[in-house]
Structure 1
Amino acid sequence: MSCMRPGGRWRAFDNGRGGEGNRAPSARTPPCGGRPAKHPVQRGLQKGEAGYPVRQLVNLPPAPAIAYATVRTCRRTTSDTVERKDSRWSLAADARTLREENARMTVRVDGKHIALFATPDGILACNNRCPHEGYPLAEGTLDNGCWLTCHWHNWKFNLKDGANLYGGDRLRVYPVEVRDGRIWVDTADEPPEEKRARVRRDLHAALEDNDYFRIARELGRLAAIDGDAALAVADAIEWSAERFEFGWTHAYAGAADWLALHDERQGQDAKLTCVLEAVGHIADDALRQPRYAFDSGSEPYDEDAFVAAVEDEDVARASRIARGGLHLGGFDALDRGLVRAVLSHYSGFGHSLIYVDKARSLCRRLGDA
């Protein structure tokens, strides 16, 4: 959170990852649980007596001048846009509007809301909305190292390359050129395949951290590219499979049902929620699970040999034969053998038959993804 101090300056108390921050514990909050301490008045103390708390103002250093810079906004039409190969240069502003030290402004060009900053390294541009929760970054604080601090949750971004100081969502920055006293910004988007690859990498990072809210944001970005984020479930399964040494968890079984619900629902929000719950559960089950080196070999598929390997608890051989079956004909080639192996012990452990059914549903829904 942030708190206002005298003079209208803001000081952030946040851990930079969107949580409640590094707030000091309250005097009324017991350190290890139990009942809260009583307020001094409840204990019979009067103001001025020993033991009654005294409010003190902390003498913090003055905030940098840039925190109070006036933010101007102007709009440009698409007629001020020049397209070139792999670029789309848009006229943003007159350079004289940013000639003062620490000046800043926002512009709307080519359908984008962009913040422009005058810095010691020249004029820099970024998306005006924080990738965390959308706060206008033109209202943030910029230091001499070009690190821009969002005033909402204290996230920090480098205006030169968009790097996140805390390793989370990156900030979109734009190339800038000043030509004949005018500021031009390259508003070209990445090719869809490059953007998709980047978002998938960022999704994997969110899965590693089990960062539910970042997973949600990355799924939203993926849906904006492909129109649907359902294939992210296949990504999450591929990413997590080697972390489950002892096989399936409820997360995979649940994913089959979440995908079925996804396909029944109408509206992007409802569909995205279904994908988020599936992927989030997988990330939660895989948290802190080390990678396991499964046998990567393959043997020609033989149903009887597969069932015997399962009965003998020879995981390595059963895995090799199963892999051969997948190469031969996908899940359909394995289906009968899996059911036979499971029904041999159904009375002792019913989960296995459920998992076979959910595996069938997932493979049919996701295909070769």
Structure 2
Amino acid sequence: MASPDSFVPVAELADVRESGRELVSADGRAIALFAHEGEVRAVDNACPHMGFPLVEGTVDEGVLTCHWHHARFELSCGDTFDPWADDVLTYPVDVRDGTVYVDPHPEPDDPPEVHWSDRLEDGLEQNLRLVVAKSVIGLADAGVDATKPLETGIRFGCRYRRQGWGPGLTILTAMANVLTDLDPVDRKRALYHGLLQVGGDVSNEPPQFEQDALGATATDFDRLLSWFRENVEVRDPNGAERVLRTAIDAGYEDDELAQLLATAATDHRYIQTGHVLDFVNKACEALDHIGWDHADVVLPSLVRGLTSADRAEESAEWRRPIDLAGLLDDTFDELHRFVEFGARKTWSRPDGMLDSLLGDDPDAIVDTLVEAIRDGATPEQLADVVAFAAGTRVAQFATSNEFSDWNTVHHTFTYANAVHQLTKRTDAVELYRGVFDAAINVYLDRFLNTPPAPLPDVNPDADPDDALDTLSAAFDTEGHVADAGRAAAHFLDAGGDTATLRRELGAALLSEDAGFHTYQALEAGFTQAASRPPEEARTLLVGVARYLAAHSPTRREREQTFTIAARLQRGESVHETVDSE
């Protein structure tokens, strides 16, 4: 209960009764007073939805209605009837000797971190863009670590989408991966974008119903691995989920669970244009962020994608005019022998290997990889060079191709990145197959570099500030792909800081209504560039800049919503300023 000393006088009771409503101020807070049904009620004047002045609303039968978007509030407690609107803050009222007093600093029902966590769940459940934006900003401003909204979004997306892990969860995890590359306010934007995509994926979808683990938790890992692969092979999601849950309940290590999933995802060639293995990798990365104790919620969401995926060996391009799938089958029959031959050898990448991988002879590409394995190359070492080859395809994509073919080179790159990241997690021999799949797809993408777009000439005399201005302008005008790539390269050539370029590219992405692949392109490019020598990092960041420019500008509706949410959180009005034409 409020202390009598906390109340301040704000209006004469007679005036409030005569007018029915009054706008007053107390300690800098704008408060709307309403005389209704013999009582005086006080609420914050700003509608919690979009900030419209509630004193201009109407009251009927104890319900206050805002006239802007017709949000409705129970007047005595401030609770809303409309989940998209949020509750309005109410103030305790006391009438003394004909004067109305209010307490301008009431105790909130919940601390901000609890309130905004609850509202985030509402926003995800109802797929409410503005609520998600306000919740993300509110949690960040309350000092809540990003892990909390991440955990909420990841668990929500895994539990309430029957098809399981999808683009929204991938985007959310990708944005979590690049948070440290972004300015603080863009970190809020990144979480907002990812969570919004999760809510959109789940909207109107049936929930996921869990299977139970088998009772045989003492089964050894190799047997569980065999069972899991067999159930995926025959496209039985229920059986595969039970086996996976058994492995989780048995307490197998993180790398073993990753091996289980990655092995099944590479039993067939380049399944679902690489998305399934990328989802496996992103699910593992999500657990790195929120903790592997959530594996029982997260990993089973991958099963339906694994069992229902298209398999590349079933497609014409992998069978004709060259039987690429058959070529790999023959190679994989001998894979363990190649690995044994290379045991205890130390491999380093030979000169010319990249040119071989970017060549037009699939037999030579396979021979190059086999020779590397026989010379002791690990899955991680081979995945590293193949991922760079795939990234080079993106950086040198010829814009004379159809626009949709950006996705073709992009899919290969994100798949190769997923293979690379998984090889850092588990040294399973089966991941060599993912390396070969990625390399063959780099070969199939060769015509999209015919001729290759030239990488920008090195220009150490460029002005880095001018380069950033050119880069920004390229994202604001359709079709300035070459300008964006050249500006990114010249910024680095002139000694520009890589971290600054990454922040600029991240800000550009987050200002757009980006599609699924654009988020992936930025995150995979950043990940691959992070640990490479400057020349390779330059190529990969040129690819990121070109890809973003090819998919910009958009209507930028999401940014408008985020801007409104940010202004509301700061207590600013969003309805008084009129745009000038």
Q: TM-score range by the shorter chain?
A: 0.5 to 0.7
- Alpha-carbon contact 1:102-1:119 (below 8 Å) kept: no
1:189 to 2:119 alignment:
no
Structure 1 equivalent of residue 241 of structure 2: 316
Structure 2 equivalent of residue 67 of structure 1: none
- Cα deviation for residue 186 of structure 1 reads 6.0
Q: For residue 283 of structure 1, give the secondary structure of its aligned residue in structure 2.
A: helix
- Alpha-carbon contact 1:127-1:171 (below 8 Å) kept: yes
CA-to-aligned-CA distance 1:185-230 (integer Å, 9 cap, x gap): 26233376x5433433332222222222222223233333235555
Q: TM-score, normalised by structure 2?
A: 0.44
Query: Relative to 1, partners in 2 of residues 1:108 and 1:323: Cα closer, same or farther, differing over 3 Å?
Result: farther
Aligned mate of 1:122, from 39, 54, 58: 39
Q: Distance in 2 between matches of 1:300 and 1:246?
A: 30
Q: Distance in 2 between matches of 1:304 and 1:317?
A: 16
Query: Relative to 1, partners in 2 of residues 1:92 and 1:363: Cα closer, same or farther, differing over 3 Å?
Result: farther
Q: Distance in 1 between matches of 2:199 and 2:207?
A: 14
1:363 to 2:287 alignment:
yes
- Alpha-carbon contact 1:176-1:186 (below 8 Å) kept: no
Point out which structure has higher relative CO (alpha carbons under 8 A, 6+ apart): 2
Q: TM-score, normalised by structure 1?
A: 0.66
Query: Relative to 1, partners in 2 of residues 1:362 and 1:110: Cα closer, same or farther, differing over 3 Å?
Result: farther
Equivalent positions of 1:1-369 (< 5 A) are 89-96=6-13, 98-110=15-27, 112-143=29-60, 145-168=61-84, 169-180=86-97, 181-185=99-103, 187-190=105-108, 194-227=111-144, 231-268=148-185, 270-297=186-213, 299=217, 302-313=220-231, 314-324=239-249, 327=251, 329=253, 331-349=254-272, 350-367=274-291
Q: What stretches of structure 1 of length at least 5 have no aligned partner?
A: 1-81
Output the aligned Cα RMSD: 3.0
Q: Distance in 2 between matches of 1:366 and 1:230?
A: 6
Q: Distance in 2 between matches of 1:189 and 1:296?
A: 45
CA-to-aligned-CA distance 1:255-278 (integer Å, 9 cap, x gap): 12111233321132x222211111
- Alpha-carbon contact 1:346-1:352 (below 8 Å) kept: no
| Aligned residue type for 2:188 | L
Q: For residue 40 of structure 2, give the secondary structure of its aligned residue in structure 1.
A: strand
- Alpha-carbon contact 1:300-1:324 (below 8 Å) kept: no
Q: Percent identity?
A: 25
Q: Distance in 2 between matches of 1:190 and 1:328?
A: 45
Structure 2 equivalent of residue 78 of structure 1: none
Q: Distance in 2 between matches of 1:156 and 1:98?
A: 25
| Aligned residue type for 1:355 | F
Q: Distance in 1 between matches of 2:275 and 2:50?
A: 40
Instruction: Give 1 or 2: higher helix fraction.
Output: 2
Q: For residue 126 of structure 1, give the secondary structure of its aligned residue in structure 2.
A: strand
Q: Distance in 2 between matches of 1:83 and 1:366?
A: 39
Structure 2 equivalent of residue 41 of structure 1: none
CA-to-aligned-CA distance 1:230-262 (integer Å, 9 cap, x gap): 532321221231233343112222212111233
CA-to-aligned-CA distance 1:69-112 (integer Å, 9 cap, x gap): xxxxxxxxxxxxx975xx99331424446453344333343553
- Alpha-carbon contact 2:164-2:208 (below 8 Å) kept: no
| Aligned residue type for 1:352 | V
CA-to-aligned-CA distance 1:275-328 (integer Å, 9 cap, x gap): 111111111111111223212447357432332232121223223224325x55
Q: Distance in 2 between matches of 1:99 and 1:188?
A: 21
Runs of 4+ in 1 over 4 A off after TM superposition: 227-230
- Alpha-carbon contact 1:244-1:289 (below 8 Å) kept: yes
